[in-house]
Amino acid sequence: MSDSSHSYSSHVEPSSTPDNVIKALSIDNLIFGLDHGKLDILLIKHKVGISKGQWALPGGWIRYDENLRDAATRHLHELTGVTDLYLEQLKTFGRVDRFPSERVVTVAYYALVSAEDYKVVAGNNATDASWFGIHELPELIFDHKEIIDFGIQHLQQQVRRRPIGFNLLPEKFTLLQLQELYEGILDTKLDKPNFRRKIMKMNLLASCDEKQQGVAHRAAKLYRFDEEAYQALTEKGFSFEI
């Protein structure tokens, strides 16, 4: 691994900062996962630096010849093993005193994943990587708690207007799982028959012609999100809303 892949936990010793990165500019990733209806966030522990041993969002420096999203993807992979997921820009955080002793502005990215689909392992620059419930977060470095709070608020708004919630579920899911997802994120109770009708009327779900296995009651049908149908509808001016 080259020097420039060091996560920024090493940055607090200036001499160890790789010189092919943009100083004063970093990336932080906010990865949401869903575990039994509970919203989780992926955190890592830095291996070295002032923040060694402390929990943090997975992130690090940006290389001179690297686009922002590429840097985000790379750090996520190197720190947690998570790959193949689409990161969306959240916001840039730049309070003068957010980083100790130096001025560092960070661009935050976020994504939603099905926790069970992603194996999480501590990468080369992390001693630990794991999921935390949003109500059981440990102490975090810098302004990472602030980034998380902003991200949760953002998620609650976005999930109602864009079909991003599906990313939190496994590829095949039941309508009840989907409903519980929305109830979890939005912190409300929804009427089952009405919810089903609303979703089905959108024509965004494709039936898998399969049923749940091994449940102690009537098995539910499995559906998957039909990305193509969504694209087609979007071009016709369709707008998702829950």
Partner DNA sequence: ATTTCTTGTGGTCAAATATACCATATTACA
Partner DNA sequence: TGTAATATGGTATATTTGACCACAAGAAAT
In the complex, which residues of this chain contact DNA (CB under 7 A)? Answer: 174-176, 191-194, 196-198, 211, 214-221, 241
Q: Which of 95, 192, 197, 198 binds its own copies (CB under 8 A)?
A: 95
Q: What DSSP character marks residue 117?
A: G
DSSP per position, 193-220: HHHHHHHHHTT-EEEEEEE--S-SSPPP
Nearest Cα to Cα of residue 239 among 181, 152, 157, 160: 160
24 binds, among DNA, its own copies, none (CB under 5 to 8 A by kind): its own copies
Report the alpha-carbon distance of residue 94 to residue 106 in Å, rounded.
Answer: 6
Number of H helices, E strands in the chain: 5, 9
- Measured from the CB atom, the residue of 92 and 207 that comes closer to its own copies is 92
Residue ranges in 67-86 that form contacts with its own copies under rule CB under 8 A: 67-68
66 binds, among DNA, its own copies, none (CB under 5 to 8 A by kind): its own copies
Q: Are the C-beta atoms of residues 214 and 154 closer than 8 Å to each other? A: no
Q: Does 105 bind its own copies (CB under 8 A)?
A: yes
Record the tokens describing residue 216, joined without a space: 């102690």
Give the residue with the Cβ less far from its own copies, 95 or 197: 95
Answer for which of 18, 25, 81, 195 binds its own copies (CB under 8 A) is 25
Closest to 21 (Cα-Cα) out of 37, 33, 3: 3
Helix, strand, coil tally for the chain in percent (to 5): 30, 30, 40
Question: Which listed option, its own copies, DNA, none, makes contact with residue 175 (CB within 5 to 8 Å by class)?
Answer: DNA
Q: Total residues at the site for its own copies (CB under 8 A)?
A: 19
Q: Which of residues 31-70 bind its own copies (CB under 8 A)?
A: 62, 64-68
| 153 interacts with its own copies by CB under 8 A | no
Cα–Cα distance between 79 and 122 in angstroms, integer?
6
C-beta closer to DNA: residue 63 or 221: 221
Nearest approach, Cβ of 209 to DNA (angstroms)?
A: 11
Residues forming contacts to its own copies in the complex (CB under 8 A) are 22-25, 62, 64-68, 89, 91-92, 94-96, 103, 105, 107
